[in-house]
């Protein structure tokens, strides 16, 4: 599959936007300038970028507690997300939602929520609506490996298969459900196999290779648009930061049970470094060019942080605004 060089550089830029945004939150979180719990997406960027690059702006995405990457990759405003993380009025949820409640309907980002598997049924309903309207839209449901322990996933798989809905079930398997290794809470079978009893097309993909993700996702999107969905995709990946917050070992609290050797192995599989090697090897960009993109993105991230910090805090008198009985 031929992909033009500008598209490849756009993939790289988007992955870098997500990574540098996430890493810019580390110090403010540790300094308690940010109070909302933040589940950082560092290390998983290739999944959101590779899959969302196969979608149109009109397609729909539903996220979870770790959705900064999904929001940006689908076209959401970095400034609006930064302001939401800082709980400011100019945030995408007007400062009421924080890090885990992100939404931008204009970009097709239909919402994220911290309840495990909580948006899978919503995404299935979205796909049903698209099927009824015959509007050609595809819906993506992003969820983690921990969601495979929730019954709503299997109810949704069954219904989506029954109605041949245009939905991609995208499982980001980072090997840990909070702090528990996934191998200790489910049978030793590829997660992608959970969709097989429902007759759903299933794939396991290297989630740290953005081109593999994009190519597999493009095929899945085409399948759904032709009316042959749903598709289940398991993306193998690894989070570089703690389950929530920058690190699970800060302030002497050892809650990260991941072996140091395992972490080191996955750091070598960094999706951004991997793609940088690809771009330089194929003569698409040299080190100076890559640094130029990094400098531009660093400036964008700083602008977003400045915007958030200088934005207005929601007024107490508006506490009941947008709340409906």
Question: Mean pLDDT across the stretch 3-32?
Answer: 95
* pLDDT above 70 for 160: yes
Structure tokens at 50: 């590779």
Encode burial over 152-182: b for 16+ CB neighbours within 10 A, e otherwise.
bbbebbbbbbebebbbbbbbbbbebbeeeeb
Angle at 213 between CA 230 and CA 198, to 5 degrees: 25
Secondary structure (3-state) at 15: helix
What pLDDT is stored for residue 199 in this prediction?
Answer: 97
Structure tokens at 136: 């050609």
- Residue 87 to residues 95, 97, 145, 267, Cα–Cα distance (Å): 4, 7, 28, 31
Q: What is the CA radius of gyration of the chain?
A: 19
Question: Mean pLDDT across the stretch 83-102?
Answer: 96
pLDDT band at 322 (very low <50, low <70, confident <90, very high): confident
Per-residue pLDDT tens digits for 211-220: 999 999 999 9
Question: Mean pLDDT across the stretch 76-91?
Answer: 97
* pLDDT above 60 for 253: no
- In CATH terms, the superfamily for domain 5-318 is Thiamin diphosphate (ThDP)-binding fold, Pyr/PP domains (3.40.50.970)
More confident of the two residues 187 and 113: 113
What pLDDT is stored for residue 321 in this prediction?
Answer: 83
What would the DSSP string read from start to end of 116-185?
TTTTHHHHHHHHHHHHHHT----EEEEEEGGGGGSHHHHHHHHHHHHHT-SEEEEEEE-SEETTEEGGGT
- Phi, psi at 35, each rounded to 5°: -105, -25
What pLDDT is stored for residue 47 in this prediction?
Answer: 98
pLDDT band at 181 (very low <50, low <70, confident <90, very high): confident
pTM (predicted TM-score): 0.94
What pLDDT is stored for residue 209 in this prediction?
Answer: 98
Structure tokens at 143: 């969820």
Structure tokens at 22: 């996430």
pLDDT band at 256 (very low <50, low <70, confident <90, very high): low
């Amino acid at each position: 599959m031929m992909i033009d060089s500008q598209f490849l550089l756009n993939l790289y830029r988007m992955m870098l936007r997500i990574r540098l945004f996430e890493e810019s939150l580390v110090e403010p979180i540790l300094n308690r300038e940010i109070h909302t719990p933040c589940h950082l997406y560092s290390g998983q960027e290739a999944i959101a970028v590779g899959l969302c690059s196969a979608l149109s702006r009109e397609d729909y995405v539903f996220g979870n507690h770790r959705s900064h990457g999904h929001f940006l990759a689908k076209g959401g405003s970095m400034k609006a997300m930064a302001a939401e993380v800082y709980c400011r009025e100019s945030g995408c949820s007007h400062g009421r939602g924080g890090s885990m409640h992100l939404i931008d309907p204009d970009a097709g980002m239909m919402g994220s929520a911290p309840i495990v598997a909580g948006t899978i049924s919503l995404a299935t309903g979205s796909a049903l609506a698209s099927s009824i309207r015959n509007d050609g839209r595809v819906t993506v449901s992003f969820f983690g490996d921990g969601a495979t322990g929730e019954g709503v996933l299997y109810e949704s798989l069954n219904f989506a298969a029954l109605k041949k809905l245009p939905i991609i079930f995208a499982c980001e398997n980072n090997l840990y459900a909070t702090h528990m290794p996934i191998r200790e809470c489910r049978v030793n079978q590829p997660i992608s196999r959970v969709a097989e009893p429902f007759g759903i097309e299933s794939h396991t993909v290297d989630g740290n290779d953005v081109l593999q993700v994009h190519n597999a996702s493009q095929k899945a999107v085409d399948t759904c648009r032709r009316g042959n969905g749903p598709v289940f995709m398991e993306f193998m990946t690894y989070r570089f930061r703690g389950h929530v917050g920058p690190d699970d070992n800060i302030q002497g609290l050892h809650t990260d049970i991941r072996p140091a050797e395992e972490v080191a192995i996955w750091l070598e599989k960094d999706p951004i470094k991997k793609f940088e090697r690809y771009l330089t090897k194929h003569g698409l960009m040299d080190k100076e060019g890559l640094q130029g993109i990094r400098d531009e993105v660093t400036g964008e991230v700083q602008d977003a942080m400045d915007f958030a910090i200088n934005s207005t805090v929601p007024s107490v008198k508006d506490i009941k605004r947008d709340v409906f009985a």
